[in-house]
Every structure is written in C-alpha cells, then in structure tokens.
Structure 1
Amino acid sequence: MVGSKVTLDKIPRLDTTNSSVDIDLIGIAKNNNETRSAAVAFMSYNTMDNLLKPDFFNTSNDTIKTMMSTVISATLPKTTNTKLTKPVNFTLKHIREFDPNGSLSCVYWNISEWIVDGCSVLKTNSSYTVCSCVHLSTFALIMQTSRPSESDSLLDLLNLVCVIVGLVFFSLALLTFAFCQWSPGVNNVARINLCISLLLAHLLFLLTQQFLSLIKPHQVLCAVISGVLHFLFLSGFVWMFIEAVLLFICVKNLSQISSKKREVLSSGFLCVIGYTVPLVVVAVSVGLLPEGYGSEHCWIKMDKGFIWSFLGPVCVILALNMILFINIIISLNSTLKNLNAEVSQMKQTKIMTVKTLAQFVILGCSWILGFFTNGRKELEILFLILNSQQGTFIFLVYCVLNNEVRQQFRKFFRCLCCVKQH
C-alpha cells in the first residue's frame, strides 16, 4: 500500500513462490485525487487448478490443455479509482515440463471459463513466461498441445511388440552366452554385460511407459527411473567400447604369436570400468542439474541442453570406436601381409571384426538416427525398430551365425526330442 507521501519512484516487484507481478501502484495512487493512495493484493493458489481446470479454456481447436503455472490473483483493495495507468506484467514460473511445440496462452477467469481478452504473452522461455494484462483478475498460464493421432497409437503398439520381441532375444542371447561352450580364445564378458545392461534398460523403459499414468504423479520416482535408464543405456555403450578394445588387443596379439606374448584384461577390472564410468557420468549430471531428470515420459529432459549428458558421452564413445575399428582394419591387413599366422585364428579374428563392426553400426548409430527424427514418422519407425531389435541382432550374429553354437543347439534339441519320445 502507498500513501500520499510516498517517496519511492517505483514499486518493487511483488513475489510469491512461483510468480511475481510488476504494477505501477504509484501511478494508480496519483490518479486517486482525494486520497492519493492505493493498495494491491497479490495472491498465489497452489491447488486452485484442481477447481479452475484448464479444460474450462474453450478453444476452436481440439487440443490437450495443460496448466503451466499456479493460479494467481491480483486486486486493488481500498482504492477508489482502480483504472490501470500501465499494463501489469505477471512472471509465471512453469510448474510442468515445457513443450516447445505447444501454444501458450495467458488467461483470466471470467465467471465460468478461462478467456484471453486483454492478456497476451510478452516473452517466454523453457522456465517461465511473462504475461501482460490491461486489467486485474484471477490469472493462469495454459498450454495447448496437439492430441495424439491414430498413427501415434499404432506407433505405441508397434513399440510394445518390438520391445517385447527384443527382450525375448536378449534373454536367449544371455542364456546362450552363459551355458554354451565357446572356443578358448572367445571372451564373452563384454557381450554378456552389454546384454544385461540393455535388457534391463529396455525392460525398465517398457514397464515405465506401460504404467506411466501411475508413475508420473510421483515426480521423485519418475526422476529416479530416468536416472537409472541414463545409467543403463550409457553402460551399454561403455561395454560396446570395451568389446572394441578387447578386439583391438586380440588383433594386436596376432602379430606377437611367435613370442607367445598376450595382453589380458581381467573380468573384474572390465566390470569396474563398465559400470563405474556411466555411474560417474550420471552422478556428475545429477550434481550439475538434478532437475534435468523426470520428463513427461520419465526420461532426460530436453530443455537447457541436458540431453547432452547422454548424447555427449555416446558421441565420444562412437568416435573412439570408429578410431579403434580403423586401427583394427589396418592392423589386420598388415598382419595378413607380413605374418603367416594360423589360418583358423586369423579367420576367426576377421569374423569377429566384421561382427563387432556391425554391432557398432546397429547399436550405436540408431541413437544418432533418433536424434535427427524431428517428428518424421518414417525415421521414428526406423529408429524404433533398430533400437528395439538390438537383442535380436546380437542373438542372430553371435549365436545363430556361430557354427559351434548351432551344433550345440542341434544336440540340445535332439536330446529334447528323445526325452519327449520316451
């Protein structure tokens, strides 16, 4: 409240937890000739949107309406002449994730509905919006987004089916790696942990999306799930890099057969690297921007560039893998020319190089493709199929196309048939 002897040039901004208001109260007081005084009351209602719902905002378009701010109210009590000298600016903090494709409206409550008359969006970003209004009332910020089309429902069904198929083949691949007999030179540690990481990541993501309506109200749980997904997917990429390193060491050892020299990395050391690196990345990300976790789909939020906490390490790993594969190919060609190596070992190494390179393309590049979909349905479907069928690819390449494993499969099925007959 200001009186006739006010000495201020400008009224300070009035703040609540999630909103603030700039009002020319001194100018309003000067317009009150008799009292030369004016007062403003500014209130914020934390749960009023449960009563004054965004669906009361009537628009010509059939859109999804979301309340993006707390409901606020501003009045001029004990003020005879309430005419505003300047538009009033309200700064409203977003209480939900901002959708860049959505349409924001500054609205006020008029008897039984939200309307926009006299209010407009002055400026906005991912964190807050400034509304300018030429009158006082009860205000809010509402975002309109397009409703999911029928094709999106089909995309969700396709995603469900593809992820389930991928999980089945991840499980089959893990059983094969664990129970089949492999050649002495084959190291499946990286492949097993890669399958475990991706299996858990895809399973958690599938369960989260199926029960999203139950999980989303619990923001802390949603943020924890997105952090765990961040860790598991990053762990998969780290294990893919470790497999490339093991292949590089194997190729390097081909040129040292005569001296019988071997470089061996223990399984325990590999596990420490494979799970510590992604854990450190997630811990640093949480420390820098803890609110970056917990999007509408319980994944990493896209605003403030936080998605690069995932894409950055992925791009680094893909670049290092590419460098390793170039060195592997050069080393293989050099060994073929200068060394009369054991034919079977050389052949096995070449096959493993081709398989690991194909794995790098399928597992790694699908995420890069997902980054450039930009809402294009064809690319989204391609990304969905490639990303969900990683388990299928690993099972086909490392199990079905392995002659030793196929022989063990045949032996197992013959024994199974004999048991059924008896």
Structure 2
Amino acid sequence: MSDSSLFGLTTDPMTVMMSTVVSATLSRTSNTSLTKPVNFTLRHTADLSPNESQSLSCVYWKVKEWVVDGCTLTKTNSSHTVCSCTHLSTFALIMLTHPQKTKAVLELINTVAVSVGMVCLVLSLLTFFLCRRNSRVTKTTRVNLCISLLLAHLLFLLTQSLLHYIKPHQVVCAVLAGVLQFLFLSAFVWMSIEAVLLFISVKNLSRLNQKSMLGWKRLTAVGYGIPLVVVGVSAGVMPGGYGSEKCWLRNDRNLVWSFLGPVCFMLVSNVILFSLIANSLRSSLTRLNSQVSQINQTRIVVFKTVVQFFILGCPWILGFFISSSKILEVLFLFLNSQQGTFIFLIHCILNKEVREQCKKWSRAFCPGKKNS
C-alpha cells in the first residue's frame, strides 16, 4: 500500500513512517496467530545512517494505531529491515526522530524514582519491625504489601536495565513477565485484605484477634495464593502471551486483561468496602458517645487506608492511556514508582506511635538532651 496516509501516524509527533505499508493474510481462515513467527523484509523509503537504524521499530496496525507487541526487528541495514511477527496483520516500519534523548530522560526518571521508592519501602519495613506496638489493623498486611512492592519494583528496574540482554531469550523474558504479574497482583490482593480487615474491625469496634480469627498463615495463603492461581491459569491458557518488547504481558493476545481484570475488580470492591466503612463509622459515632476516642482512632486508620488505596490503585488507571501521551507515561511511571514513598509518609512519618518511639530512641541515645 503505497499511500500510508490511509492509516496515519501515531500521535507522537517524533514518529516518522520509514516504509510502505504491507498486509498479509491467510485465505479460508480467520485465525491470525501463527505457530512460528513469520519474517518479512521492508525496504526503507530513504537510506539511513547506522545511528538512525537503532531507532527503528516494526509495528502493526491495531484498530486505529500502530503497536509493537508481537513484532521484533531482527536485522537492518541502510536500505532494508527484516521484521519477525507472531501473527499476520498490516505492517510497517516507523522511526523515532529523537529516540536517544527521549529514551535517556525516561530511563533516568524511571531509575531515580524507582530507587527512591524502594529506599522508602525498606525504611517502612524497618519501621514496622522495630515498632511492634499493635495497631487496629494487623501489620501482616502492610509488611507483605511492602515486600510485594519492593520485589516488584526491584525486578522491574533490573529487567528494564538489562532489557537488551534479556529480550533475545524469550523464555527468560516470559518468566520475568509472569513473576512481575504475580508480585503486582500480590500487592493489590494485600491492599484488598487490609480493606476487608478494616471493615471487620470497624464493624466490631475492637482490635482484631489475629491468632484466633485471622492468623498470619491464613492471610499469607490468601495474599499469595490468589495471584499465584491467576498467573498459573493465565500461563496455562495462553503461554505465548508472556514476554512483550518490555518483558511484560503482550497486548496483541489480550493477556494483559489477566492483570487489568483482577485489578479493576479489586479497585471496585475496595470502593464498595470503603463506602460501607464510612457508613458504619457515621452510625457508630452517633450511637457510642462513650467511645469517641476509639472511634476517632478508627477514623484515622480508615483515612490512612483510603489514602493508601487511592495512591496505590488509582495511578494504574493511567495505564489505559499512556500509549497516547508521553506526559501521561511519565506521570504513570512517577506515581507508581513512588508508592513506597507514600506508604512511608502515611504509615511511618505521620504515625503518632512511630514518632513517640523515635523520641524514646533519641532520649536513649542522647540522655543529656532535655525533653522539648
């Protein structure tokens, strides 16, 4: 198809079409998937220098935009590029006009932001272990939430940093994608468990008896069992859906919904739970005047949990729109990388018990210091 304007470019102004558009189909079948990748050669519309060849991408047309998933660039020279795709579709070759600068800035923002978030997650875990006073909601949920996020962000950072070496090994890339899906789903499950425990606590207006009612073994089985089942079923039903260009779930086979589906379900469930919690607190506040301090304490815990929910859950909604805007992509990376920072701020720095414990430690290390 010599007239590529029939399809149009991506919304990114730095994208340039570097080939004519080609389309491949199989007759007498509607199945576009292939058991083995198909290789095809595209001729450049203009000769490229060696530096420009590094910015090329093999893409295919999906509904109304060019996407990369399922297609890889195998080799290229100044005049031709060989692409490999796992399905048949309408293909083309695009080039970023300023790829190095844009990529370097995004990688720097990503590395710094994720590193700061991981440091805060480590500090949060240390705070939870050192300050052992019981809270209204068992610390099992917050500790495992931090562990899941810490491991997920660490694996994500290592995968993206070593992507050039990992991508040629498709099995390794697919395994890393599955582990990332498991860890991020675990974080959402632990967040949902905390909301359920908070709902039970508010309904009873008493501390949860962790040993007899909701022991850490049961919570751990639920917190890691549910995401393990989701990943296991997804891998069994569609094993070829793991391992995109970024070693994540591939959009071309819609396996990404095995992550987005449970996430959307948990977000909606948490909104319903928080609505019930708010209604329960309002009725308790008018009924129990003798326990105003206890209710106020519960309200603080509810407020922190709701803020945590919006901070950890809502930024993932931006994931639906990052393909259309670099600004949204940067915002998505920043908000999700700073989840550990927000947890440390909410549950540690703004926690009265933690501040009192820090004062005791400061008086112990500095006995001559007077109390302010």
SS in 2 for 1:398: helix
The verdict on how the C-alpha distance between 1:291 and 1:406 changes in structure 2, with shifts beyond 3 A counting, is same
The verdict on how the C-alpha distance between 1:188 and 1:291 changes in structure 2, with shifts beyond 3 A counting, is same
- What percentage of aligned pairs have identical amino acids? 50
- Deviation, 1:411, is 2.7
1:178 is aligned to 2:129: yes
Q: Which amino acid in the other structure matches residue 227 of structure 1?
A: G
Structure 2 distance, partners of 1:189, 1:226, is 26
1:239 to 187, 190, 195: 190
- Deviation, 1:152, is 3.4
Q: Which amino acid in the other structure matches residue 96 of structure 2?
A: S
TM-score (ref. length: structure 1): 0.67
2:267 to 318, 326, 341: 318
Report the counterpart of residue 223 of structure 1 in structure 2.
174
Partners of 1:249 and 1:263 within 8 A in 2: no
TM-score (ref. length: structure 2): 0.75
Alpha-carbon RMSD: 3.3
1:205 to 135, 156, 161: 156
Structure 2 distance, partners of 1:252, 1:299, is 40
Structure 2 distance, partners of 1:285, 1:264, is 32
- Deviation, 1:378, is 2.2
Structure 2 distance, partners of 1:66, 1:393, is 36
> Which has the larger share of helix?
2
1:127 is aligned to 2:87: yes
Report the counterpart of residue 46 of structure 2 in structure 1.
59
1:296 is aligned to 2:208: no
Structure 1 distance, partners of 2:121, 2:353, is 19
Structure 2 distance, partners of 1:180, 1:213, is 42
The verdict on how the C-alpha distance between 1:341 and 1:159 changes in structure 2, with shifts beyond 3 A counting, is farther
1:337 is aligned to 2:297: no
Q: Note the residue ranges of structure 2 that are not aligned, 5 or more in a row.
A: 1-23, 28-36, 69-77
Structure 2 distance, partners of 1:322, 1:48, is 47
Report the counterpart of residue 349 of structure 2 in structure 1.
400
Structure 1 distance, partners of 2:79, 2:110, is 39
Q: Note the residue ranges of structure 1 that are not aligned, 5 or more in a row.
A: 1-18, 23-45, 69-93, 103-111, 116-124, 131-140
Structure 2 distance, partners of 1:222, 1:149, is 24
Structure 2 distance, partners of 1:48, 1:333, is 64
1:276 is aligned to 2:276: no
Summarize the alignment of residues 11-410 of structure 1 with structure 2, pairs less than 5 Å apart: 57=44, 59=46, 62=52, 64-65=55-56, 100-101=66-67, 114=80, 127-129=87-89, 143-146=93-96, 148=99, 150-183=101-134, 185-254=136-205, 264-410=213-359
Higher Cα Rg, which structure: 1
Structure 2 distance, partners of 1:67, 1:100, is 9
- Deviation, 1:127, is 1.3
1:48-77, Cα deviation, whole Å (9 max, x unpaired): 99xxx97x8462675634578xxxxxxxxx
1:281-322, Cα deviation, whole Å (9 max, x unpaired): 001110111111101111111112211110000000000000
Q: Which amino acid in the other structure matches residue 160 of structure 2?
A: Q
Partners of 1:241 and 1:317 within 8 A in 2: yes
Which structure's relative contact order is higher, taking Cα pairs within 8 Å and 6+ residues apart? 2
